[in-house]
Structure 1
């Protein structure tokens, strides 16, 4: 089983999310057997969304863990906030978002939110390999 952990800080947000995507791509390229292009794209999209949300809403720092299982790739993001992601109607006027968590749930085989004793949480998504 292949794993990788990345610590992410929020300044500047675009650069850190981009770095998380780049590191995830590096992880995925090394996997054997290789992922299908669509599967790799879905993993990168979920990494981007979960890291962005953790940095924006979870306290400004997070850790990304990627794990390759025989039949799936797990994306897990830890942050210090106890606030769990919520399904809500997307804001079509462009003001407050609401598209990300539903998208993650559509792309993933399963998702989970685990509250930590420290007060933070882990948000994870298992995607098809």
Structure 2
């Protein structure tokens, strides 16, 4: 885990950014709870407990999707800035994720992007050289 903090103090409005960057090993689902723990530590000074819980949930969904639906490594980057939180999970497969409405028969599968769409202030998918990045943002302005 790499954590970059410019200024070293709590990240609140007007304060510097802090970042978590983590490489996720191919199909290593142990990375999901480990990532949640690392994100929780990054967000410890954010001062938005309810939003931090949402951030953990949505990050878990993006990490799980990258590890389950690709056969490659992925890279997580989470950045806390004065404007809020941005989490991005890059993988190395060009196939774009599909937002689908899960059926009752799916159990817990198929709900990840639906949760991201419902709970994030913004989200999307962007192509990069050899794959894509799925991202979401939780903004400071709407934080409770």
Task: Give the TM-score, by structure 1 length.
Answer: 0.87
Find the structure with the greater CA-based Rg: 2
Indicate the residue corresponding to 2:12 in structure 1: none
Query: Which runs of no fewer than 5 residues in structure 2 stay unpaired?
Result: 1-16
Do 1:114 and 1:123's aligned partners in 2 also have CA atoms closer than 8 Å? yes
Q: Residues 79-94 of structure 1: matches in 2 within 5 Å?
A: 79-94=91-106
Give the CA RMSD over aligned residues.
Answer: 1.6
CA gap of 1:97–1:11, structure 2 versus 1, over 3 A, is closer
- 1:24 paired to 2:39: yes
Counterpart selection for 1:121 from 125, 132, 137: 132
Q: Does the 8 Å CA contact 2:19/2:78 hold for their aligned counterparts? A: yes
**How many residue pairs end up in the alignment?**
124
Show structure 1 runs of 5+ residues with no match.
none
Measured after TM superposition, the shift of residue 87 of structure 1 is: 1.4
Aligned mate of 1:9, from 16, 25, 29: 25
Residue from 31, 34, 43 that aligns with 2:55: 43
SS at structure 1 position matched to 2:103: coil
Q: Structure 1 runs of 4+ off > 4 angstroms?
A: none
Mapping of 1:57-76 within 5 angstroms? Answer: 57-76=69-88
TM-score (norm 2): 0.79
